[in-house]
Amino acid sequence: MMKSEINRINSVYKQRSSQKTNALYKWHLDSSQYASSIKNRMISSLVFEMFGDNLSNLSVLDVGCGNGSFLRRLIEYGVIPCNLMGTEYIEDRVLSARSLTHAEVKFHLGPLVELIKDRKYDLVCAHTVFSSILSSVERQELAKQMWDRVRPGGVIMIFDFRYNNPKNKNVSKVTKKELDCFWDKGCSYYKTDILMPPLARRIVGKNWFIPEMLTMLFPFLRTHFVYAVKKNEY
């Protein structure tokens, strides 16, 4: 990824960390707990379908790993810490990830391209990373770099937004069609869920059954997706 795009992303996240909108995503809020639980359900279902329930030998590269929360979740699922690697552009996030995560988990501060291609992973994933990249060319380049680091038979997993946010011009939706074009092997798995946040904030605290019912009856209200593509073994 070009340095200018990395600098833009860093600037956006620094600005976001100081904004009052962060109050909408506090961990203890009902809407945050709801979104987190549905995301975990979506991703755990995908991981199980792709790799089964014994993950002890799974090797994982998490691109844009943030504070390492997904890597810690994988340890809970049984992945050996030394088989985990996270990359991140933002130094504060890497420092936080290292302080919160098992010491044998490895972290890299900087772009994915700096990691050697010789190391291949069973799972290469990115959570709300592509939506932060506004350039289609830069997205395609990142997709290629991720593909280069997946072993034959391994999986790329993407979790991201289906829609644009009219209040946030620093993110852009990611479509299934776009991802299919990045990896010509085609989609192996695609599921949508999570009730649109503005609506969820209004109703989740009253009854969790309501958002579940709404997303089941009205699929267009689902704002997030999990996507996976498997690399051929030959």
Please list, in sequence order, all residues whose beta carbon lies within 8 angstroms of the beta carbon of residue 85, skipping any fewer than 6 positions away.
60, 61, 62, 105, 106, 107, 108, 115, 121
Per-residue pLDDT tens for 163-179?
999 888 889 999 999 99
- Comparing CA positions, the residue from 53, 44, 63 lying closest to residue 189 is 44
- Comparing CA positions, the residue from 148, 147, 154, 220 lying closest to residue 179 is 147
The whole-angstrom separation of Cα 85 and Cα 87 is 7
Q: CATH number for the 32-230 domain, one of 3.40.50.300, 3.40.710.10, 1.10.10.10, 3.40.50.150?
A: 3.40.50.150
Q: What SS3 state is found at 190?
A: strand
H or E stretch covering 74: helix 69-77
Burial status of residue 81 (CB atoms within 10 A of its CB: 0-12, 13-18, 19 or more): middle
Res. 106 pLDDT band, cuts 50 70 90: very high
Q: Is the pLDDT of residue 46 over 90?
A: yes
pTM (two decimals): 0.91
CA angle 161, 168, 193 (to 5 degrees): 20
Q: Is the pLDDT of residue 48 over 80?
A: yes
Mean pLDDT across the stretch 121-142?
Answer: 95
* Beta-carbon count within 10 A of 31 CB: 21
Q: Domain limits of the chain?
A: 32-230
